[in-house]
Amino acid sequence: MGRLDNRVAIVTGAAHGERAALGSHFAKALAAEGAKVTLADLKDCASVAAEIESSGGQALSVRADVRDEQSLHAMAQATLERFGSIDILVNNAAVGSNIPPVPVLELEASAWDEMYAVNVRGPFLCVKAVLPQMRRQKYGKVINIGSATIYSGLPNRLHYVSGKGAIHVMTRSLARELGPDGICVNTIAYGLITSALTEHEMEQDPAHRARVFGPRMMQVHVHVGDVLGGLVFLASAESDRMTGQCLMIDPGSVCL
């Protein structure tokens, strides 16, 4: 018996991504608890969907661009046709956690707009795409992906960090608006997730390593496996009395 049996989830940004590929891990974790999962990304998610199916789960891979309302409507429709409901939306797709540092005076307005189109407007459009079905069901779980950097601040990435700030605020406002429909809206947030790539970057640049580890109360890495329990909790009935909140998984670099 899984904690998400009979639930249907959509995870955006669920391909094998450039950075930590968290979306693919999120999709697999939800499927392992029994959810049927739509994997949506600009890139092909077929290999992730095949992994889920070979483990006995059910998965649908769709191409979707979170900047494009039509494609998100198609994503929701394809999910309904295949699985019959939409219970969980994981607003994971984003760009920019891996961009090179840009001082504010060198940050082009066009780069700001491009980032916001994916990282802020995208989750808003994804909610619009699934909301009619969640309202019909009188049940839903929207999980937005935030970042610990909104509490600590981070220089030279103003568009990324402020966009994540918008996500945290959007969570609160949406939670208040959608509470009467039985829809929970929460954020899960974390700092840098250690992957093979980030480990290599820290080896090359000890100052970067010191910036990441210096503020942590516990001098430990956070790997993708460390955040999956929180994600499943927010997707499951265990968090049915929790909305408008931020679940921070962080070894003490910031305290709320």
Ligand X SMILES: NC(=O)c1ccc[n+]([C@@H]2O[C@H](COP(=O)([O-])OP(=O)(O)OC[C@H]3O[C@@H](n4cnc5c(N)ncnc54)[C@H](O)[C@@H]3O)[C@@H](O)[C@H]2O)c1
Pair of tokens at residue 6: 């009979």
CA distances from 202 to 19, 36, 42, 82, 210 (A): 14, 37, 29, 43, 9
67 binds ligand X (CB under 6 A): yes
What CA–CA distance (Å, rounded) separates 255 from 148?
9
CA 25 distance to own-chain centroid: 11
Closest CB to ligand X among residues 17, 57: 17
192 binds ligand X (CB under 6 A): yes
92 binds ligand X (CB under 6 A): yes
Q: Which SS3 state, helix, strand or coil, does residue 176 take? A: helix
Contact map string, positions 196 to 235, toward ligand X, x by CB under 6 A: ----------------------------------------
13 binds ligand X (CB under 6 A): yes
Closest CB to ligand X among residues 105, 196: 196
Minimum distance from residue 190 beta carbon to ligand X (Å): 5
Minimum distance from residue 6 beta carbon to ligand X (Å): 27
What CA–CA distance (Å, rounded) separates 14 from 93?
7
Residue type, 235: A
DSSP state of 180: G
- Catalytic residue positions, numbered: 160
Closest CB to ligand X among residues 139, 198: 198
65 binds ligand X (CB under 6 A): yes
30 binds ligand X (CB under 6 A): no
Pair of tokens at residue 222: 């956070």
What DSSP letter does each residue of 205-234 carry, written as one string?
A: -HHHHHHHHTT-SS-----THHHHHHHHHH
Q: Can you give the binding site for ligand X, defined by CB under 6 A? A: 12-13, 15, 17-23, 41-43, 64-67, 92-95, 97, 118, 145, 147, 190, 192-193
